[in-house]
Structure formats: structure tokens, C-alpha cells
Amino acid sequence: MVYAGQCHCAALSYAYETAAPPSSWGVRACRCAFCRAHQARTTSDPTGSLAFQIHDRTRLVRYRFGLRITDFLLCAECGVYLAATTTTPRGRYGVINVNALREIPPGMAAPQPMSYGGESESERTARREARWTPITGDL
């Protein structure tokens, strides 16, 4: 299945492809200040794919904090946090903010609170390479 997501003004969008039913998605609620402020709920599928479409490049904001190895993608116009991406020696990976899905699928799992603050850069990169969704196409 392909699930479509976008910011509120439709300047930025994504197509998240996964064979996993929404009831089995590992939905996470990171406890960092950024994710709490956005009430983000994220998910990923290492066997799926994630493609972005940027309809207006002037509205794409890449925000970095902490270890500065992740781009949090936001819309400069409407303020929606769409996804997070990272580039490693093994490729590009991302997680979607399920709150940006055009339609929230029924039966989606409740988010599990997560804390990643104790990870080193190498631990964080390894976790993302193993668990995040491969990105296809340009961004």
C-alpha cells in the first residue's frame, strides 16, 4: 500500500509505501522537546520506501538540532512537520510524521513513548539504518 502525506498547504508531500498493515506499524512518540512541541507520531518500515515531492522549494525548511545529523522537514508556509531524514554511508533514510497523512488509517497502533537522548552518533546512525525507511528519488 502507498500512503500519501502532505503539509497543510500542499507545498510538500510524501508517498510512504509499506506492505505492513497499519495495525502493525511501530508508531513512536519521541520525548524530545521538538517532537513534543509538534505532537509528532512517527513510523517507518525498513522494507518499504519513502519518496518526497516538493511542489514549492521555497517552502521547504530543513531544521537540525542535537547531533545535527538529521533534517526535520517543515513547511515554511503552514508550519507542518512532515518527516525526518538522514544520510549515512549506506544511503538515505526517513521516518514520516503520521499526523501529516492525508487520511489516518483505521487500526493504527497507539504511539509508544521513546527517548533517544543517550545514543551516540554511531548508535543513532546504526539504529536508523536498521529501522528507518529507505528514501527513493530526490529531496
What are the DSSP calls for 64-98, one per residue? --TTS--EEEEETTT--EEEEEEEETTEEEEEEEG
pLDDT in tens, 75-113: 999 999 999 999 999 999 999 999 999 999 999 989 999
Q: Is 102 helix (H, G, I), strand (E, B) or coil?
A: coil
Question: Can you read off the three cell numbers belonging to residue 52?
Answer: 518526497
How sure is the predictor about 138, in pLDDT bands with cuts at 50, 70 and 90? confident
Residue of 40, 69, 132, 54 whose CA lies nearest to 95: 132
Write down the pTM of the prediction: 0.94
Q: Which domains does the chain have, with CATH numbers?
A: 2-136 (2.170.150.70)
Rounded CA separation 11/64 (Å): 20
